Structure formats: C-alpha cells, structure tokens
Structure 1
Amino acid sequence: MDITTAGTASAPVAVITGASRGLGLELARALARDGWRLVITARSAADLAVVEAELAAVTEVAALAGSVVDDDHRERLAAAAEKLGGAALLVNNAGTLTGYDLAGAPMPALADFPLPGLLETFEVNVLGPIALTQLLLPQLRHHGGSIVNLSSDAAREAYVGWSGYGASKAALDHASAVLALEEPEVRVWVVEPGDMRTDMYQEAFPGEDISDRPLPADTAVPGILALIARHPASGRYLAETLTGSH
C-alpha cells in the first residue's frame, strides 16, 4: 500500500468506492479539498493511479484497485482505513448497470436479462456495499460516522430495461433503512443523485446526447457535502433538494 502524506493525522477519513470517475471522483476531489483523508478504490488500476497522483498533492490518500465483490479486497480497504485512524465516512458509490459490458446495446428486458449479469448486478450493487459496511461498522461507530449509499430513481419507479439495476438499488435502499434502525449512532443516508453527465449514464443511453444533464460536481456533490455538513437524521434524500436547487 502506498500512502502519501499531505494532510494531518487528525483529519477525518473517508472510504469511497468507484472513485476513479464520475460522481465518486468528483466527491473524492471535494472531500480532499475540505481536508478529509481518503481511502479510494475502483476496478481500473491505471485510472485509479491517475486519481491517486492528483489527490496525493492535496491530502493523505490510500488507493487500492479492486472490486467490492472481492472479499480480500474489502478486507484491504478496511485495513487501510484503520491504519489512517478509522473511517468516519463510507461512500458506497461503486455500481454496475447490468453486470456486463453493454457495448452499445440497450438495457436488457427482464425476459432476456442474462442471469450471470443479473447476479453480478446484485453482487456489486447490494452485497458488496453491505459486506464493506459490515467491516467498517466498528470504525464508523467509534467515530460517530456516516454512510452514504448511492441510489437511483429506478429504485422507486419502473422503467423499461432497468429491472436489474432498479431492483438492486431498491434492495440497497431497504437494507439501508433497516441498518439505520439497528445502528442509531451511525448516520445511514441513501442519496438519489439525479441524472448526471457520466460515462455510466451514457452507457444506459447509447448514442443519445446527454449534454443537457448536469455534471456530478454541479448538483450531486454539493448535495452530499451539504448532507455531511448538516448531519441530519438517517433517511433517503434527493441531492438537488439538499442545496435548494430544485
């Protein structure tokens, strides 16, 4: 593990999954500017290395490439956070639309959804976040910390082609609500970021112009930062309402 020191040992620690692009990357940048020390992860080692080099100039960062589905990788993330003093924030941002590369194809109908892909969708979007949360809960309890679980309107609305993703996010929503009851000393926030101009959103709408969607740094990140700053009760929040931009 390569940890570059640029901040202070007293600064809080955040663990962010899916931090090499999109919302995860922009949130990591914002938290680094606010003085947080970071444990970041993403599947692509090359992309993560670029992010690590950028953030190491701002704060203390541990970057570990891997999948949240991998048991050993989750253990390494928890150990990295513990080494920095323990996580005060966990952001479960890593996710998958279908569990496989769409390669320009439309989102699959449930009748045609490949079962290995459906299984992967639930492993990445539900099992991975829950398992990582289990490992980090002792640290989060100690720091009176918080969990941000990224959700979607597809978790509460039915859209053609969004069966796997929507169902997995609905499952994570419900698990989060139960966790909030079971862990009253830890804030558990489900955040619906809204449509964003990201690679993942583009994959869901191949060939469409999504330039009218806001960038993650425009609405979702400010909303999550407001949530962290205000530290409200556990619950489900729309990012745009947290900044009064709705």
Structure 2
Amino acid sequence: MMYHFNLIKFFFPVDDHLFRIQKAEKIANIWKLSVLLVLVSAVIYGWMGSLGMGTDLISKGAVELSVFQYQQSKLWFVFGRIGFGIVMALFFLFVPALIFHLLTDIPYQKLVIMQQIVLLVMLIERVIWIPLFVNFGLDWYVSPLSFGIIVSYLTEAEWPVFFFGAVTLFQLWIIWFQIRYLSYLSTIKKSWIYINVISLHIFYWLIVAFLAYFDRFMIGGWFG
C-alpha cells in the first residue's frame, strides 16, 4: 500500500491518516517535504533575524561601531540565524525520529512523518511570535503562549524563566500528538511512551534554557 503524505491534509481527519500510515508499505513525498520544511525554516529564521529579533546585544554596541560595521554585524547575524534554522530543522526532523525508532521499532520513515508535523507546528509557533515581538516587544520566553511569563512574576532569575518560556501551548500539543502517534503505531506500553516523550521534551527545554542563558555571552563575544 502506497501512502502519499500531505502535511495539510493530515489534520483532516488525523485518525484516518494514522490508519493509512500504519498500513502503508511505501510512503511518497516524504523527502521532498523534508527539504521544503528545511527551506521554510531557513526563510522564517532569516526573516526573524532581519527584523532584529535577538539582535539587542548587537544594538547595545552600535554607538561604538561605524555604520558599515553595524550593518555588517547585522548581516552576519541574519546569516547565522538562517544557518540555525537549517540545523534546527534537520535536527528535529531526523534525530528524534531515530531515537523513537530505536525505542519502538516503528519504521523510520513513518517517524519522520511524525516529526514533519512537529516541525510544521514549531514553525507556525515562530511565525505567531513575530507580531508579538514587532508590535509588543515580547521575547519568546515571555510570550503569552508560554509559561515563562507566569514564572517571570515569581522570580527574577533568568534560567527558570528561560526554561518555562520554552514550555508553550504548542509544545504541550506536540507532546500530546507524539504520544498519540506513537501509541497508534506501536505495541509497547503507553506508560513507556509517556515517559520517553515527556523526558525527551524536558531535555529539549533544558538545552533551550542553557543556550538562551549563555547566548548573550556568545553573541557579545562575536559582535562586541
């Protein structure tokens, strides 16, 4: 049975597509969609960089730079964000799929499909954050869609704000979706799936908090 995967049609209805994926012997379009998602990720992150999202540390040193040096630093920053968008997309498409393949024995391509949906939702989340930043100056960790804004009222410590800022409504949906997807295609205990999916996301959030906490030092070193 050949399954022609379509990112948009997957949601209407989900159960029908999960059944088709479970029964599929071959899957079409998977690699073309992967390339498309990587390119879209690069464009979105490049757009974010061009809007100045995350360039506050560069702007602080603008008075010490010539116009050419400042524009050059911004250009390199945009290129860096494009590169980050590509690496991030490749990571989330293929690394978690490999981990879940080793844990569940679900065919790797079927898990890449799951991660394509995950990456699409993550990119939608990034796009929604853009007007929040442009219009209200909200950083990602104090977005109204995250728990970071609540934690920011409870503590001035940056690390817990970054950690809970990475926990968003979109991330909770992704956890629910991955558990549902893996439970449908795998015969292992659902409790084991819960533990592995949630543990992996906690690890992601820890890494995000760590990178955000030290980002100011890295950017300051590059562009200061």
Same fold (TM over 0.5): no
Greater strand fraction, Structure 1 or Structure 2:
1
Structure whose residues are more often helix by fraction? 2
Q: What TM-score do the two structures reach when normalised by structure 1?
A: 0.30
Relative to the length of structure 2, the TM-score reads: 0.33
